[in-house]
Structure 1
Amino acid sequence: MTSEAPDSAADGSADASATTTFADLGLRGPVLAAIADVGYETPSAIQAATIPPLLAGRDVLGTAQTGTGKTAAFALPILERLDRERGRPQALVLAPTRELALQVCEAFERYAAHSGGVHVLPIYGGQGYGVQLSALRRGVHVVVGTPGRIVDHLGKGTLDLSGLRFLVLDEADEMLSMGFAEDLETILGSTPQDKQVALFSATMPAPIRRLSQTYLRDPEHIAVAGRTQTATNVTQRYLVVSYAQKLDALTRILEVEDAEATIVFTRTKNETEVVAEKLRARGHAAAAINGDIQQVQREKTVKQLRSGDLDVLVATDVAARGLDVDRIGLVVNYDLPIDTESYVHRVGRTGRAGRAGRAISFVTPRERRLLTAIEKATRQPLTPMHLPSVEDVNATRLTRFDDSITEALGRAGEIDQFRDIVAHYVAHHDVPEVDVAAALALAAHGGPLLLDAEAEQVREQFEADRRAATEGRQRGGKAAHGGRDRRLGGAAMTTYRIAVGRRHKVEPRQIMGAIANEGGLGRGDVGAISIHSGFSLVDLPSDLPAGVLRRLGRTRISGQLIDLRPDTGRRAPARGASRGGAPGARKGGQN
């Protein structure tokens, strides 16, 4: 059976899921309370289509991109049906990378906030076994892990899946492309026959279809279809920023961006009130709308936005649905939305009536993956931007102050009276006219006009966060670890030698999968791999931190310690070595 999630219009018109609540889907009590805390008001398309069959015990085969809200689609029904009295793992979620595993684990913990006693454990390469073993001994209900480390635990006998009731394969196509097909077979073969399986994949290639035919029982096929194009007249940018720095960033952006009106989107209802209140304290005409605001108040607020009495509206997705105000020149995603369709809806609030619009998204370092999903779904790259500096803010303030003086000078009939008052003050107090003018400006402005130079420290912190997220792949330069230097996509690469080869029956996909997960690397970070009789050579970024190299040195492939070390090139390749040779032996990072 196949069901297709309803199309979500790019202009923000209501779709079928807009009138559906999470309670309508069959969720109850503690899970609903957690959803309310998180701030989700209505389910996304994938959630509305997936939660009911999962609650009913059916297997699900879902075609969905990252960023469609699928984590909640499988996590919420699992938590609804979890038996908290049983201490053995009941649910296993497999993810291709440790970053995604951690994100899924954190989502489970948020959704279980009111469930009491639910224990969730992430299992991934790069983390010590001791922490994982201690947690497993204490008892966990949900395990979220990468295939390689899960297989390691199964091999050691430290992970018991005999009581497993739910299995989720998240981004299955990514796991296969990273070389985890054999690991998935091992894991699936270690689980009970009567478990419920949910498999999610952005694409549906033949290996995924074979996997689903083998391990899923009469699955309901759910495909998310939606218009994910944003308007071409909207300039889209993003700023890498930590959560604690968002308010300062928003304040500066509102100062330097020349927009008649701005909508700021937050993820939760409570956040709309908090942000609006803090903006008002900083001198902005701001108000909040969310699902708790009465319709009369909402209409009043929107009217103020249209008339110009209000310049900044802080809103949730649902509260802004259908909002059409021509003077909105800027949309700020204070929090990235949970799905790409919501992003399209948000951006669609600006650039109305043929006008040019702008959208700026705040991206925390851990949300890079979601940003990539948005770019892929909308097929429009977002341009990185810098936090406006103190100099930028001060220049904008001076320009506006100059403009206000120029405007006042043009009102000749009214200015004459004030000219006489100033002359009277100068004559009776022996104060230079320029000082009187400065005092009047201070009185009119209510405080200092320009930011103090100490505020530059905030900008430097933002820049440090941004650099930390990108400089590792951009530095390039000479190899730092003594190996032979190469380049991949402009970045410096070093050739390393590992102690596994053809006689250990390893393949490039196993090497790449193990190194990517144990070292916390992406597929694009692993360069050429060549397999010889008793060893292999692999190109890795030259600027890998020492801690990553130590972890990789302790990595095992097919039970063999790889003993990673820089290749000096002094050993001649074994006869028949496959560097540049037999098909399938040499594998680049973009497999």
Structure 2
Amino acid sequence: MTFADLALGEPVLKALREIGYETPSAIQAATIPPLLAGRDVVGLAQTGTGKTAAFALPIIDRLDLSQKAPQALVLAPTRELALQVCEAFEKYAGHLKNVHVLPVYGGQGYGVQLSALRRGVHIVVGTPGRIIDHLEKGTLDLSELKYLVLDEADEMLKMGFAEDVETILAETPETKQVALFSATMPAAIRRMSKQYLHDPEEITVKGKTQTSANVPQRYLVVQWQQKMDALTRILEVENFDGMIVFGRTRSITEEIAEKLRARGYSAAAINGDVAQPQREKTVNQLKSGKLDILVATDVAARGLDVERISHVVNYDIPTDSESYVHRIGRTGRAGRSGDAISFVTPRERGLVKMIERATRQEMTQMSLPSVDEVNETRLSRFDDRITAALGDSERIDRFRDIVAHYVRNNDVPEVDVAAALAIVAQGDTPLLLEPDAEPEAPRERRERTDRDRGDRPDRGDRPERRAPREGLATYRIAVGKRHRVEPRQIVGALANEGGLRRDDFGAIQIMPAFSLVELPANLSRETLDRLSDTRISGQLIELRPDAGRPQRRTDGERKPYRDDRGPNRPSFRDGGDRKPRYKRGDG
């Protein structure tokens, strides 16, 4: 089957040919025909299966360019995904004149969005919180909406947007066409589908938790401090074209890219801090071959499809299988081959088993390339450079005369002159590694015996938990365990509505009736007001600086709140029976 078989118009088909799309994916082939026929659709498919084109192509094909009010609304859980969906719409509409697509998300100034809405837009792609803001202000008119898409609906519900999504649905015309895409079908999604979709066609693409068979998966057990040396050796011995190196945090990606550049590799980092124009420039450099290594966080690489990517390296192995599948999906796309290598510290061995169970594919343990292997590769490349130079006969003739002149005048063997010229060409960097450059093998985690445990200090002797890291303060929000919130819901809601980055979050501690969240201490009044009005799981969070919490007394009573702690000095002392605090990145 080709895209032409799906009854799409010629402008859309022309754009697809230019992009290089030839055959539709399973979700696209199953979803596009019913959407073109006007039916509601529920699509169940994992990330990386081509869902965006599945709903974007039918929408673009049927746009009425004379209508100024928004015709299509796409709701996405994160601003990064909203931006990527916008990029996809713009690519697919490349041969239609004056198609206006507007991203609407928290953290961006209202002025840009208001100006675009006044001029008229055809497609709005946004996060639920900011869409709600515009509806409440009366700046977004959905009365003429024809198409509504809920992208990654299960993620939106996990992040606490259920009530917002239902509020938005209630503001849209009954006659609209709805497409709901989700990786899973929890009860809440099933209920929403029955309530808001009209006789939907349910389409399931199975088996997409598996990674591509074209991507061999390997892992290397390595100590944290040895990761950069391990990455450098792998770069030396692996025959790669383009590569993505995944790091867990913004700071890690920038550190990796900087160290790779210092070692002579063309590398750049993209993460949540990188502005969209710079991100596009970096990705284009990767596509054109001006850049060989992209160091990225999960969010920044979402939706990235670059044909040159032959290798993916998980510098930090992800803690959930879905992120792993998404990362590995950046290579081996559209039938191409690829390679995936994950760095695993001794304590992370359990993650390998978890990923293998989820993907139903085995990961092969590899060894760190040895000194001999690195030297063999270096010598092979050195030979290739000599062979290539010998092919330039004109320059060889000129330099042959120069070498002969030196030999005649200095009575030095030609082979010694060649060796000296190699030294000049190589510079101060040695061509070969020394045998003593082998790193120490990682030590396995030792099982503790009862006797070992007897040597540990008593729990009561442990130091108090640390204060928030520099630049952060502790804030209280009015949702907790009784509201069934999780850290990822808190992070998702606050990040989208407050325009915060993932690195702006410190520790999160969920209590029965409230939660404590470490956020930047210098939040503006406007941001605080906006966050105070945010809802998680339908509950107004009423965010405010935390004034401290009571300490546990030995007699079982609690001390009253101390008002003199200030927002930067909360007490995290507990009695040892609570669950440990959630760290940033958990969940």
The answer as to 2:571 corresponding to 1:557 is no
What is aligned with 1:28? 9
Shift of the alpha carbon at 1:448? 2.9
1:518-572 CA distance string (max 9 Å, x none): 244569977234476xxx542236xx48569973554242698946435444894
1:291-329 CA distance string (max 9 Å, x none): xxxxxxxxxxxxxxxxxxxxxxxx969xxxxxxxxxxxx
Shift of the alpha carbon at 1:511? 5.9
The answer as to 2:37 corresponding to 1:59 is no
Contact kept in structure 2, 1:496 and 1:539, CA below 8 Å: yes
* AA in 2 matched with 1:234: P
Shift of the alpha carbon at 1:225? 2.0
Shift of the alpha carbon at 1:507? 8.3
Shift of the alpha carbon at 1:205? 1.1
Equivalent residues in 2 for 1:121-136, closer than 5 Å:
121-136=102-117
What is aligned with 1:431? 411
Contact kept in structure 1, 2:78 and 2:492, CA below 8 Å: no
Cα gap change, 1:139/1:344 in structure 2, threshold over 3 Å: closer, same or farther?
same
What is aligned with 1:440? 418
CA distance in 1, matches of 2:78, 2:183: 15
Cα gap change, 1:138/1:400 in structure 2, threshold over 3 Å: closer, same or farther?
same
Moved more, 194-203 or 30-39: 30-39
What is aligned with 2:518? 540
Contact kept in structure 2, 1:54 and 1:74, CA below 8 Å: yes
What is aligned with 2:135? 154
Contact kept in structure 2, 1:235 and 1:359, CA below 8 Å: yes
CA distance in 2, matches of 1:43, 1:105: 20
Cα gap change, 1:53/1:135 in structure 2, threshold over 3 Å: closer, same or farther?
same
Cα gap change, 1:400/1:331 in structure 2, threshold over 3 Å: closer, same or farther?
same
The answer as to 2:170 corresponding to 1:189 is yes
Give 3-state SS (helix, strand or coil) of 1:137's partner: helix
What is aligned with 1:514? 493
What is aligned with 2:151? 170
CA distance in 2, matches of 1:382, 1:573: 52
* AA in 2 matched with 1:429: N
Scaled by the length of structure 1, the TM-score of the pair is: 0.56
Equivalent residues in 2 for 1:426-575, closer than 5 Å:
428-433=408-413, 436-440=414-418, 448-449=425-426, 479-480=468-469, 495-498=474-477, 508=485, 514-519=493-498, 520=500, 527-530=508-511, 536-540=514-518, 544=520, 546=522, 551-552=527-528, 554-557=530-533, 562=542, 564-569=544-549, 572=560
* AA in 1 matched with 2:145: L
Equivalent residues in 2 for 1:89-238, closer than 5 Å:
89-226=70-207, 228-229=210-211, 234-236=216-218
Cα gap change, 1:381/1:552 in structure 2, threshold over 3 Å: closer, same or farther?
farther
Give 3-state SS (helix, strand or coil) of 1:31's partner: helix
CA distance in 2, matches of 1:80, 1:72: 12
* Percent identity between the two aligned chains: 48
Contact kept in structure 1, 2:153 and 2:180, CA below 8 Å: yes
Give 3-state SS (helix, strand or coil) of 2:65's partner: coil
Contact kept in structure 1, 2:71 and 2:147, CA below 8 Å: yes
Contact kept in structure 2, 1:482 and 1:566, CA below 8 Å: no
* AA in 1 matched with 2:204: A
Cα gap change, 1:76/1:337 in structure 2, threshold over 3 Å: closer, same or farther?
farther
What is aligned with 1:74? 55
Give the root-mean-square deviation of aligned CA atoms. Answer: 5.4
Cα gap change, 1:66/1:375 in structure 2, threshold over 3 Å: closer, same or farther?
farther
Contact kept in structure 2, 1:25 and 1:52, CA below 8 Å: yes
Cα gap change, 1:74/1:120 in structure 2, threshold over 3 Å: closer, same or farther?
same
Cα gap change, 1:521/1:508 in structure 2, threshold over 3 Å: closer, same or farther?
farther
Shift of the alpha carbon at 1:513? 5.2
CA distance in 1, matches of 2:360, 2:139: 44
Give 3-state SS (helix, strand or coil) of 1:429's partner: helix
* AA in 1 matched with 2:55: F
CA distance in 1, matches of 2:521, 2:362: 29
Shift of the alpha carbon at 1:429? 2.6
Equivalent residues in 2 for 1:309-320, closer than 5 Å:
none
CA distance in 2, matches of 1:105, 1:216: 24
Contact kept in structure 1, 2:148 and 2:179, CA below 8 Å: yes
CA distance in 1, matches of 2:79, 2:63: 24
CA distance in 1, matches of 2:214, 2:17: 35
CA distance in 2, matches of 1:530, 1:497: 10
* AA in 1 matched with 2:496: N
1:220-250 CA distance string (max 9 Å, x none): 1111124634569934489xxxxxxxxxxxx
* AA in 1 matched with 2:409: H
1:231-279 CA distance string (max 9 Å, x none): 69934489xxxxxxxxxxxxx99972255xx67799xxxx999868999
Equivalent residues in 2 for 1:387-398, closer than 5 Å:
none
Contact kept in structure 2, 1:124 and 1:150, CA below 8 Å: yes
Contact kept in structure 2, 1:537 and 1:567, CA below 8 Å: no
1:410-462 CA distance string (max 9 Å, x none): xxxxxxxxxxxxx99888433333xx32543588x899346989xxxxxxxxx
Equivalent residues in 2 for 1:327-366, closer than 5 Å:
331-332=310-311, 343=331, 349=337, 358-359=339-340
Cα gap change, 1:438/1:132 in structure 2, threshold over 3 Å: closer, same or farther?
farther
Give 3-state SS (helix, strand or coil) of 2:508's partner: coil
Give 3-state SS (helix, strand or coil) of 1:24's partner: helix
CA distance in 2, matches of 1:93, 1:115: 20
Cα gap change, 1:451/1:427 in structure 2, threshold over 3 Å: closer, same or farther?
closer
Contact kept in structure 2, 1:482 and 1:568, CA below 8 Å: no
Aligned length: 414
* AA in 2 matched with 1:256: E
CA distance in 2, matches of 1:348, 1:540: 44
Stretches of structure 2 lacking an aligned partner (at least 5 in a row) = 221-231, 245-283, 293-305, 314-323, 343-354, 385-402, 431-464, 551-558, 563-572, 575-579
CA distance in 1, matches of 2:162, 2:581: 16
CA distance in 2, matches of 1:175, 1:133: 25
